[in-house]
A and B are shown apart, each in its own frame.
Chain A
Amino acid sequence: MGLNSRVGFFEGLKYQGGWPMVSWMLHRITGVGILVFVGMHVVASFFLQQMGSDWSIAINTIYESWIFQIFIIFFVLFHALNGLRIAVLDVWPQFLQYQREALWLEWLIFIPVYGLTVFVLVQHALIGG
């Protein structure tokens, strides 16, 4: 409680929290991002289904484009893997002393899966499927 609570965004970035802090920030950013994405998609799908609105088709076309999918797969995959790490460490708190190793493991899973997905998406887009 003794912490100064009025800290700006760029001052906050100076805090030497390392990878756990980066994960915490990314978890919040990706979480809010997914909520915005899913919320807009649900409303757009409702108007597309009920009245075939043009703006719904526009939004869903953006969502189906490969550039948007590269972003959304990062958001969802990171949020899922980081969330699983948090849940596992909450169930077995004795592993908290290995939380840096858990982060390594998380990125060790994330990078190949995400890299392969981006590779296939870009390849698909360049060939033109």
Chain B
Amino acid sequence: MRTRVVSPGVNFEYLMWIFTRISGIALVTLAVVGMATAFVLGARTQIDLPTLMRWTFFPNPNHVVNSNIPDVTLGWANGFWQVMQILLVTFGITHGFNGLRVVLEDFIGPSFTKPLLRGFLFMLWLFMLIVAVYVILNS
């Protein structure tokens, strides 16, 4: 581990620091909204705990097909949930890859591999984002 040197002022590190807080709070809010709406839709009698957990993490209709919900297309699979899923995936994957960048850069310190690592993580971030949105729009 090395000490990280962060220069003052509005820069990349500062913006990502702000983004981590905002996206973290947004992810918790999205999860709470998803769980609350599930209860409004009748989760108390139609869903068991593991299914409710899966739905809270990610409100995808494929997460509740094994439950006692008679028809998943009614209320559980529509444009609102697609927007929720895309928001969750965008915030989640960006938050996650930025976190991985912070952890890895703490280990390597100032090194010539840093731009390579950032490029690699950027490509992986873009790839995961595209794959995840593709899965959402096709489910």
Contacts and interface: CB of A to CB of B under 8 A. Distances in A.
A32 B21 contact: no
A38 B21 contact: no
B7 interface: no
How many chain B residues sit at the interface, stated as a range, is 20 to 34
Given A42-B132, A46-B131, A121 B139 contact: no
Interface of A: 1, 3, 5, 7, 12, 28, 31-32, 34-35, 38-39, 42-43, 45-46, 49-50, 64, 66, 69, 73, 76, 80, 83-84, 86-87, 90-91, 117, 120-121, 124, 129
Given A86-B21, A90-B21, 7 more contacts: A5-B109, A31-B99, A32-B99, A38-B93, A43-B128, A76-B57, A80-B24
A49 B49 contact: no
Given A35-B96, A84-B28, A5 B3 contact: yes
Dominant secondary structure at the A interface: helix
Contacts, number: 74
Contacts of A5: 1-3, 109
Contacts of A31: 96, 99-100, 103
B28 A80 contact: yes
Given A35-B100, A80-B28, A83-B24, A69 B138 contact: no
Q: Which 10 A-B pairs have the closest CB atoms?
A: A35-B96, A5-B2, A83-B24, A87-B21, A31-B99, A42-B132, A120-B49, A46-B131, A46-B135, A45-B135
